[in-house]
Amino acid sequence: QVQLVESGGGLVQPGGSLRLSCATSINIFSINTMGWYRLAPGKQRELVADISRYGSTNYVDSVKGRFTISRDSAKKTVCLQMNSLEPEDTAVYYCNSVPSYYAFGQGTQVSVSS
């Protein structure tokens, strides 16, 4: 059974940073694209960043220049470095393939508040 386990969330002040990590049982080297999604209260889940097996990346406009996605196929991990966090970034963050073929894990809560 495929498992996706996210970690690294927390409560930070605006302007702060967090680094999220996703451990997976998937052989992500064989997956074309992996991504980080987020689900904020009252909103639909959105894809905020993705990275192909070749390292090319895409970001939603609201996080460009602030977030950086990376992957380590040997370690089967996908990370999201989040800088200059804003209250609007508050959400539960999940990793999955793109498109999301697998069941989402429990996610990791990111709260940005002063």
Is residue 21 within 8 A of residue 77, CB to CB? The reply is yes
pLDDT recorded at residue 31: 81
The pLDDT of residue 104 is 95
Q: What is the pLDDT of residue 71?
A: 93
Amino acid 78: pLDDT: 95
Distance CA(89)–CA(81), nearest Å, equals 13
Average confidence score pLDDT of the chain: 94
Residues of the chain with pLDDT under 50: none
Do residues 92 and 39 lie in contact, with contact meaning Cβ atoms separated by under 8 Å?
Answer: yes
Q: Give the whole-angstrom CA distance, residue 105 versus residue 1.
A: 12
Closest alpha carbon to 100 in 50, 40, 25: 50
Would the CA dihedral through 77, 81, 85, 88 be positive or negative?
negative
Tally Cβ neighbours within 10 Å of residue 52.
15
Residue range 35-44, pLDDT digits in tens:
999 999 999 9
Residues 81-95 have pLDDT tens digits of: 999 999 999 999 999
